Structure 1
Amino acid sequence: MEQRYATHPDQIAGMDTQDLRDTYLLEQVFVPGEVTLVYTHHDRIVLGGAVPAGAELALPTYDEIRSEFFLEHREVGIVNVGQAGTVTADGQTFTMPKGACLYLGRGTRDVVFSDGPDSDGGAQFYLFSAPAHTTYPSTLVLPGEGNRRELGDPLTSNRRTLNQYIHENGVRSCQIVMGVTELHPGSMWNTMPAHTHDRRTECYLYFDVPSDARVVHLCGQPDHTRHLVVADRQAVISPSWSVHSGVGTASYSFIWAMAGENQAFDDMDTFPVTDMR
């Protein structure tokens, strides 16, 4: 398990492009036949991918988390961004089409990822995990079943559908807040106005980005922004003090997931774009 240490906002000013990418960008999230995870010391989040590639793939444990099994002291949200697949948790099997979200609570011992019968080895599971102090029941949310919010405007190129899956009024968790946002055709801007929330770390996984397109992800403090150029199925770690917003050269989707002090989705500090630098 790769480790990424927490950073102070003053550090980002001296980073060059490669420093920024090495610190905040996960370039290879999905590796066929592997579980690939990164431990960030920002709110002790673990994120990454699992790709069964035609075989059963078990979620291992790691020395870095000092647990007998991965979810002994943790919870996890899982979203399938590939073809249909299944997740079996302590003998209970959940069928997950693309876009489905599964929550597994603390204490779940055995987790196995598999492709669906017609997926041709194409299931890709994104994992977002945080420490948990109690157990909530495992819950599957199929695409379209979460709380849907229509946001933005075509005139500002940010018309989007936000699907809330794991949140305080939906699937219950200790810390995780998680969902999927789909930009409408012709819209490229996400998460405007840009904001921070000093009480939570947020991570983005960009997917359904065309191979010849990219997303320019803004990060840093509002008065001293930096950027990352992000490709399909790459993830960004956004510390609580950093803005997180982006614009693509084409429409795309992204998974947003947070953990930290509270689960209030609208607890954020927004910054007018006219005040950003």
Structure 2
Amino acid sequence: MEVRHSVHPEDAKHYTTEELRKRFLIQDLFVSGQIKMVYSHVDRMISGGACPSEPLALEVEKGMGVDYFLERRELGIINIGGPGVVKVDGVEYKLETTDGLYVGMGAREVIFSSANKTQAAKFYFNSAPAHKSYPTAKIERSSIKPNHLGSIKESNERNIYKYIHPQGVQSCQLVMGMTALEPGNMWNTMPCHTHDRRMEVYLYFNLPEDAVVFHYMGEPTETRHIIMRNEEAVISPSWSIHSGVGTHCYTFIWGMAGENQTFDDMDHVAMPDLR
């Protein structure tokens, strides 16, 4: 498991392109037969990907200081690949593409499997510290009523699917969901915002091989960008905006952790204030 330390905004404004990518960009999440994880000291979020050719167990890392992965944590999973199965303490949950699963604190065994080897599952997950256990629950995308926002005029027409949130599948502090842009739309989270009370991680996917997303980050008056490709993730500290524009429409998974779970708790940035 790779460890990323926290970054002060005064330092980030001086980073080169490569330094920005090293600190915030997460690549190669879905390597066949492996689980890739990045531990961020920003709210101690763990983001990862599992691409099983054979069953893969979620193992505790020595640096976590516990006996098993979810001893003091909770876990949110969304499958972006072929059909798969997640076994939690002996109970199997079948996840089709874009189905999700919440696993509460205290679960001892989590095993990822693909339903068939010709089209491997790709399980993306976020894990945050927890102090209370909530029931494990499967989340079918087809059962979620999306919030339809934006317009083609502003190039941001999109559907927001909330998977783990206070009015749906409950958790201790993790909030997780997915935003899908309609064809012909390119922008997400613009006008932009920060939320000083929560960090966020984005995973961009459903991008063609030759397409990119320009992900904007940094303080509103000190913006920077990271060029991202299909199935790459980016860490967004609480002081940073998190917005993107693509050369093609795309989908992204967002995961948050911090002081509250209020989706609309945002510090909006006026367009004239951006620099």
State the TM bucket, normalised to the shorter chain.
over 0.9
Hey, what does 2:56 align to over in structure 1?
A: 57
Code of the aligned partner of 1:113: F
For residue 32 of structure 1, report the CA deviation from its aligned partner: 0.9
- Residue identity in the other structure for 2:79: N
**What RMSD in Å do the two structures reach over aligned CA positions?**
0.9
Report what 1:176 is aligned to: 174
Aligned position for 1:251? 249
Within 5 Å, which residues of 2 pair with 1:195-206?
195-206=193-204
The question of whether the paired residues in 1 share the 8 Å contact of 2:81 and 2:119 is answered with no
Q: What is the CA–CA distance in structure 1 between the aligned matches of 2:153 and 2:235, rounded to whole Å? A: 29
Aligned residue type for 2:59? P
Alignment-derived partner of residue 98 in structure 1: 97
Q: What's the % identity of the aligned pairs?
A: 48
Partner Cα separation in structure 1 for residue 232 and residue 220 of structure 2: 23
Tell me by how many angstroms 1:182 deviates. Answer: 0.4
Aligned residues: 275
Structure 2 residues not aligned, in runs of 5+: none
C-alpha distance in 2 between matches for 1:146 and 1:24: 30
Per-residue Cα deviation, 1:225-258 (whole angstroms, up to 9, x for no partner) = 0000000000000000000000000000000010
Matches of 2:93 and 2:236, distance apart in 1: 30
Classify the secondary structure of the residue corresponding to 1:222: coil
Matches within 5 A, 1:81-230: 81-117=80-116, 120-230=118-228
Cα distance between partner residues in 2 of 1:176 and 1:162: 17
Mark the runs of 5 or more structure 1 residues left unpaired by the alignment. Answer: none
SS of alignment partner, residue 264 of structure 2: coil
CA distance in 2, matches of 1:32, 1:181: 26
Corresponding residue for 2:23? 23
- SS where residue 141 of structure 2 aligns? coil
- For 1:102, the aligned partner's letter is L
Q: CA deviation at 1:272?
A: 2.2
2:39 maps to 1:39? yes
Amino acid at match of 2:65: R
Distance 2:213 2:143 in 1: 27
Letter in 2 for 1:58: A
Q: CA deviation at 1:6?
A: 0.5
Residue number among 225, 234, 243 corresponding to 1:236 in the alignment: 234
Deviation at 1:122, TM superposition (A): 1.5
Instruction: State the 4+ residue runs in structure 1 displaced beyond 3 angstroms.
Output: none
Task: Verify the 8 A CA contact 1:183 1:251 in the aligned structure 2.
Answer: yes
Deviation at 1:101, TM superposition (A): 1.0
Report if the CA contact (8 A) 2:24-2:236 is conserved: yes
Asked if the contact 1:176–1:263 (Cα under 8 Å) also holds between the matched residues in 2, the reply is yes
